[in-house]
Amino acid sequence: MRALVKPEAGPGLELVDRPEPKVGPGEVKIRVLRAGLCGTDLHLDQWDDWAASTVRPPLVLGHEFFGEVVEVAADVDSVQVGQKASGEGHVVCGTCRNCRAGRRHLCIRTNSVGVNRDGAFADFVVIPASNVWVQPDDLDPDLGAVFDPLGNAVHTTLSFPLAGEDVLVTGAGPIGVMSAAVARHVGARKVVVTDVSDYRLDLARGAGADLVVNVAERRVAEAQRELGMREGFDIGLEMSGNPSAVEEMLANMNHGGRIAMLGLPKDPFPIDWGRVITHMITIKGIYGRQMYDTWYAMSSMLQTSDRLREAVASVITHRFPAEQWQDGFDAARSGRCGKVVLDWS
């Protein structure tokens, strides 16, 4: 089969021919039709410090995908051959305290598809049956391929009740844009999105943001005045990992505001803890998706809202055949894109 592989420690990837993966007990083999390109994949390609400390080559990359089930282990009865499916990329141990308590997204021994085990930038991928999310037969394959990042957006956005609240999203990458769409869907009063890329801010506007702010040109406080907001934002969704974005978000939160942080910073940075304390601001870290409450929530929302489905689909701006994977990586690095999808069909 074709597979996009990190062959050895160091920068670069190779599209090679590899044997099909075998199905073990409790596992399912999926023929990959589409796979989404994530920032994690860019880190692995570039082989930065995080990649070097985390990954043991050789490894097949890719953790965002949609495909068709082609084989199930004899002990699997929850998934059937022929079903369409996406996959939860975090494989948990099942035995730590959090797993046994039903908090699988907090597993202390999480093993990630495409990072710690072979992933979905290939014709076939094998994952545990418990990680398979069966999809409707008529689901657009491109949309099915972005359920993983959509799950990040849904997990973050639904961390706090936000119906009728004013929401600030910092970072208009694909997940930030999808978060704006979800916030609009669940009834936020005003949704403001910030970034330094006009291209991505246009995507956020199209997905339902009331106002977008290029923070290289003006400040969030100006947006508040433009919208007639007399007080600060009630909910902050931090998707950038940028210290200055976090600083500006904190400066524009209402007293008692709540912030969910998904964006990963490259390095540690200072926080104005005096403001956090005196303004009684709640900060919550978010990683991945709740297994599997988030999956139920995003599937249900997409099935019941044409508007949300269109907004999420609009984030997919570039599609490339698997053989043109390098063009896909180049597009993702350029910043002038939303979500990039590789076609493995």
User: Would you place residue 127 in the very low, low, confident or very high pLDDT band (cuts 50, 70, 90)?
Assistant: very high
User: Would you place residue 220 in the very low, low, confident or very high pLDDT band (cuts 50, 70, 90)?
Assistant: very high
Question: How many C-beta atoms lie closer than 10 Å to residue 197's C-beta?
Answer: 17
Q: For 51-109, what is each residue's pLDDT tens digit?
A: 999 999 999 999 999 999 999 999 999 999 999 999 999 999 999 999 999 999 999 99
- What pLDDT is stored for residue 335 in this prediction? 84
- What pLDDT is stored for residue 303 in this prediction? 94
- What pLDDT is stored for residue 283 in this prediction? 98
pLDDT over 90 (residue 166): yes
Mean confidence (pLDDT) of the chain: 96
Position 331, amino acid: A
pLDDT over 90 (residue 297): yes
pLDDT over 90 (residue 266): no
Distances (CA, A) of 270 to 97, 129, 247, 263: 32, 42, 9, 15
- What pLDDT is stored for residue 186 in this prediction? 96
105 is catalytic: no
pLDDT over 90 (residue 167): yes
pLDDT over 90 (residue 288): yes
40 is catalytic: yes
Over residues 143-168, the mean pLDDT reads 97
- What pLDDT is stored for residue 279 in this prediction? 98
Domains, in order of start, for the chain: 2-146+315-343 (3.90.180.10), 153-285 (3.40.50.720)
Instruction: Determine which one of 40, 157, 170, 194 is catalytic.
Output: 40
- What pLDDT is stored for residue 135 in this prediction? 97
- What pLDDT is stored for residue 329 in this prediction? 97
pTM above 0.85, yes or no: yes
